[in-house]
Structure 1
Amino acid sequence: MAYQALYRVWRPQQFFDVVGQEHVTTTLQNALLQEKISHAYLFSGPRGTGKTSAAKILAKAVNCEKAPVSEPCNECASCRGITDGSIPDVIEIDAASNNGVEEIRDIRDKVKYAPNAVKYKVYIVDEVHMLSIGAFNALLKTLEEPPRHVIFILATTEPHKIPLTIISRTQRFDFKRITAQAIVGRMKWIIEETNLDCEEKALQVIARAAEGGMRDALSLLDQAISFSQDKVTVEDALTVTGSVSQAFLNQLARAVHEKNAASGLEALEELLHQGKDPARFIEDLIYFYRDMLLYKAAPALEESLERVLLDEDFQQLASEVDTNAIYEIIDGLNKAQQEMRWTNHPRVFLEVAIVKLCQLEKSVSTANHDVEPLLQRVAQLEERLARYEENPPVASAQSEQATQKKPQRTNRKGFQAPTGKINEVLKSATKQDLHDIKSRWGEMREQLIARQMRSQAALLNDAEPVASSSDALVIKFKYEIHCQMAMENAKFIQTMGSVLLELIGKQLQVIGVPEEQWLTIREKFINSQHPGAVEGSGGSEEEDPLISEAKKLFGEEIIQIQD
């Protein structure tokens, strides 16, 4: 007799044999015992997780001569006939090749005929998502109200492609990926039944490479048995699955941790020389560091590990590598993997990635040393702030007064600049003081932004200093609302005073004035200093005293005379 693959020989014949899908099998068994069988089922899930096997077991259970039973007996004529395919009342249809309207119409026409050999006629439609829209429409009414002797079981790996009108007419069961532990347990049982010799670690390698599919795992086990001599070893399993050995991953991770690029490149060269696929290797390396991160976070959750075996070298390395470094390494490997997908030279990107990882640790450790100057700067600023609190500057006192007056801020007539204070500043204002402020005005705005006061600094976009003395500063705002917002913000005024102290070495009281009010206040001040200056020139060729006083206060270079 011709040799049969392991997954065919050991296909589940009872619900008990369907590994890792207890949430499905238990529900179906209870329905069988209570004789509450639905007319249509939808089995969805990844490949190789037991969808079609469960469908055939259900077909045997409902037609078993000993029904109602939770498991088919596999001894009666009905069970044996359904198992070997000799009973025509259990029909398996491949929707990938029979996806037309005519095939579904043929089913619709034949479904009304009673079964010949068993109690129920069962239609198992595999990969049902491959049906065309017309085929789904042809199936719709029959699926909703089939004859009492008919059961439909639809199986698919892509349920999102099935119309909701079909899904709503079925009982849906979602098959999940089988855990590596459950796959290893099933393979151990098969190995014992067939009297084969296999290392347990080899089974673990195969189970992790199967990615949750029992059929894939048995196919890989079949290959490993054929590849090996007398005993399936870990090396045989690694060769068949194309995976990288744990020792190699530990060696490369050690080179990255020790910042030894030469050792890392030597190990990579050896790996590629053995014919390993760079794309598969970088995936294994990503999962290696992912498992390391999970192991550091939750050492007891061994089942959550995808690629790693908890040997002594791995545990020691995991205790030495910092968690932040793992984040950086996974991010770098992920970027390299994306770049490798669109190139004809993936080896180059892999080598560059290894070198970057070896230098990444160095940059991370160097960054830790760069923190020291910042900490010293923070300590100096805290000390300076403590001194300010002991001797509050004028701006602080002004901010306290503003804070006390803040609840009474309901001026509907707009902002009124303090004319008396501005006149006092003008009396002692000098050109040099104003020049000192203007020369550092840009720096002051940058300091405000650096102190997380970006919105407040924006108020100064259309503002400029117009007069300054040794203890006060007058700022002209283009818009009255901006002036009001700035002057009523005590924190903003205090911060401006602190910044000006750092930049020019003076603690200045900040006074704001809208542009329209400033023009009036300035003109009245000049007239008070020189009465009749505006009207008393009488056509004289001498310079207008108003202009002379303006030049003295604000500097000749910023005065523009217009007739």
Structure 2
Amino acid sequence: MAYTAIYRKWRPQTFDDVYGQPAVVRTLRHQIMNHRIAHAYLFCGSRGTGKTSTAKIMARAVNCLSPVDGNPCGRCDVCTKLSDESNMDIIEIDAASNNGVDEIRDLREKVKYPPTIGRYKIYIIDEVHMLSTGAFNALLKTLEEPPEHVIFILATTEPHRLPATILSRCQRYDFRRISEQDMVERMRVILTATGAHAEDEALQLIARSAQGAMRDALSMLDQALSFCDGNIGYTDVLDMLGASGTDFVAGLVDAVIAGDDGGALSLIDQAVDQGRDLTALVREIAWYVRDLMIVKSCRQPETMIWASQHQMDVYKAQADKLDERKLIAYMDILSVTDNQLRFAAQPRITVEMMAIKLCHLREESSMDAIVARMDMLEGKLDGLMKGTDTVGAEKQSAQTKPSQKTKPVPKELKAADKPPAQPASVQTEAKADGLNEVMRAWPAVLQAVKKEKMTVYTFLCNGKPAALEGEQLTLVFPEGGGIFAAAVEKDENRQLVEKAISDVTGEELRVKCITGQAAAHEPAKDVDIVEKAKELFGEDKVEVIDDET
């Protein structure tokens, strides 16, 4: 006897055998039990989710002489005859190859004849979206008012391509993708019945590769049984599918996190030497990054990721080294690479360039870092326009930590030790140094506030340090930003900001919020603004233009 593929041999024979579609199965069973059978059904869903199998079960159940809880009994004379593929009461039509008006006209003529075995004649039209416009129009009247003995079951993977006039005449049932757990459970049942064995990791890999299609999973299981001779191992499935495996991808992600482009390229070279499919590798990395995002974002990732405890520990360790924005950036690069590989003449080069991009993804790409850099640049420009030597102050304090306090001028300083002509200038420079130190530490202050309360962080991002008078730090918010200033000055929020400043800088400062321009400062010492601009931006970037007007 010729060999029968597993997905055909183990096709569901009752609704109890249909995995992953509880809502559809429950509704159809109740209709059969209560004799409320419609004249037209539309089964929608992706490939391998059980549309045709459910249609065949439905066809036998509505004709069964003694259904059991809505299931065909499989023992009566009608069930026995309808199980024969040559019966004349269950007609399967492939709309992809019978999509013309003539075929539908022929169908309209045949529906007039009564069934030969049971009570109903069932027409199952698969891939119905492939019918032509003329064929749909020819089917409309028959679909709306068929003979009492006829039931239409339409199946499609693309319901959006069906005319609204067809959709309105059918009861629609959406078949969802089958979960990995359901597919593994079904494969376990089949392996137990056939006397074969498989590792849990091997079945999980097959289920994930099937992407929600039970038929694909059973086809891969059939192939694995032949490949492994009845004892399916994880590494054997990796070789069969051309996949790289979770451990390999984990090592590649470790190299990316460390910025080790050499290590990442070495692993890609290893995958190429082993004959791995590079497109499959990119998709494995994308799935891995997706798992990291779930671990990073969810309190109970175990409910969404099916992994061993060891692998979950690896996920958590890697997720702790990354933030959400970087993971999103990783996913963007992987998605672009996946699309590029479809048309790439040199897939290896494309994947290698992807690895380098991932390794050198800069932290400055995050919004917080960009805002911090803009604030720093604004502080330098303000100091430049006011004559404050912020560049020199930054160079002088580059080797000191932001938390170090600026030493005030001692009260006991003798008059002879003070600059004889510019006592006010010395005081101004000391204040400027203190303000510069706060501004340099401001990104860290923002991050400390963000960890405590996101709303206060959002308000605070709209302001910036403008003046430091003694122990009072003045924050300036833009015109129209009074609502942000008022929110920050609320006692609870202001105390949170002051605590963050104290933790980062070591200074006990009081915060005051104003809108518009900061209060006028004392005149600063004269500086050569051209020289400061060259020092800040580079001599080649500065051009001096005389304005004689």
Tell me if TM exceeds 0.5: yes
8 Å CA contact 2:295, 2:315 repeated in 1: no
Q: Percent identity?
A: 42
Q: Which residue of 1 is the match for residue 346 of structure 2?
A: 345
Aligned residue identity for 1:284:
E
C-alpha separation in 1, matches of 2:271 and 2:473: 67
Tell me if 1:22 matches 2:105: no
Shift of 1:111: 0.9
C-alpha separation in 2, matches of 1:390 and 1:232: 68
Q: Deviations over 1:452-473 (max 9, x none)?
A: 569xxxxxxxxxxxxxxxxxxx
Shift of 1:265: 1.2
Q: Which residue of 2 is the match for residue 58 of structure 1?
A: 58
C-alpha separation in 2, matches of 1:332 and 1:503: 50
Structure 1: any 5+ residue segments left out of the alignment? 392-449, 455-490, 506-556, 559-563
Tell me if 1:379 matches 2:431: no
Q: Which residue of 2 is the match for residue 218 of structure 1?
A: 218
* TM-score normalised by L of structure 1: 0.67
Shift of 1:86: 3.1
8 Å CA contact 2:100, 2:132 repeated in 1: yes
SS in 1 for 2:335: helix
Q: Which residue of 1 is the match for residue 504 of structure 2?
A: none
SS in 2 for 1:97: coil
8 Å CA contact 2:43, 2:174 repeated in 1: yes
SS in 2 for 1:320: coil
Shift of 1:305: 3.4
C-alpha separation in 1, matches of 2:525 and 2:142: 85
1:465-544 equivalent positions in 2, closer than 5 A: 495=517, 498=520
8 Å CA contact 2:467, 2:518 repeated in 1: no
Structure 1's 390 and 331: CA in aligned 2 closer, same or farther, altered over 3 A? closer
Q: Deviations over 1:332-383 (max 9, x none)?
A: 3333334434431121121122122222267679969986967964836746
Structure 1's 275 and 303: CA in aligned 2 closer, same or farther, altered over 3 A? farther
C-alpha separation in 2, matches of 1:502 and 1:195: 89
1:214-293 equivalent positions in 2, closer than 5 A: 214-293=214-293
SS in 2 for 1:169: coil
1:111-510 equivalent positions in 2, closer than 5 A: 111-298=111-298, 300-305=300-305, 311=311, 312-360=313-361, 377=436, 379=438, 382=465, 384=467, 386=469, 495=517, 498=520
8 Å CA contact 2:67, 2:73 repeated in 1: no
Aligned residue identity for 2:438:
A
Of the structure 1 ranges 253-262 and 23-32, higher mean CA displacement relative to structure 2 is found in 253-262
SS in 2 for 1:107: helix
Aligned residue identity for 1:379:
V
C-alpha separation in 2, matches of 1:13 and 1:180: 22
SS in 1 for 2:243: coil
Shift of 1:331: 2.7
Shift of 1:80: 2.0
Of the structure 1 ranges 26-35 and 379-388, higher mean CA displacement relative to structure 2 is found in 379-388
Structure 1's 364 and 120: CA in aligned 2 closer, same or farther, altered over 3 A? closer
Q: Which residue of 1 is the match for residue 100 of structure 2?
A: 100
Structure 1's 59 and 230: CA in aligned 2 closer, same or farther, altered over 3 A? closer
Structure 2: any 5+ residue segments left out of the alignment? 380-401, 403-434, 440-463, 481-513, 528-547
Shift of 1:66: 1.1
Structure 1's 386 and 208: CA in aligned 2 closer, same or farther, altered over 3 A? same
Q: Which residue of 2 is the match for residue 36 of structure 1?
A: 36
SS in 2 for 1:205: helix
**Over aligned residues, Cα RMSD in angstroms?**
3.4
Q: Deviations over 1:170-224 (max 9, x none)?
A: 1000000000111111111111011101111100000000000000000011111
Aligned residue identity for 1:252:
L
Look at both structures and tell me which one has the larger radius of gyration over its CA atoms.
1
C-alpha separation in 2, matches of 1:336 and 1:500: 57
* TM-score normalised by L of structure 2: 0.68
Aligned residue identity for 1:64:
C
Q: Which residue of 2 is the match for residue 513 of structure 1?
A: none
Aligned residue identity for 1:343:
A
8 Å CA contact 1:100, 1:134 repeated in 2: yes
SS in 1 for 2:99: coil
C-alpha separation in 2, matches of 1:287 and 1:502: 58
Shift of 1:503: 11
Matched residues, number: 413
8 Å CA contact 2:465, 2:473 repeated in 1: no
Structure 1's 118 and 264: CA in aligned 2 closer, same or farther, altered over 3 A? same
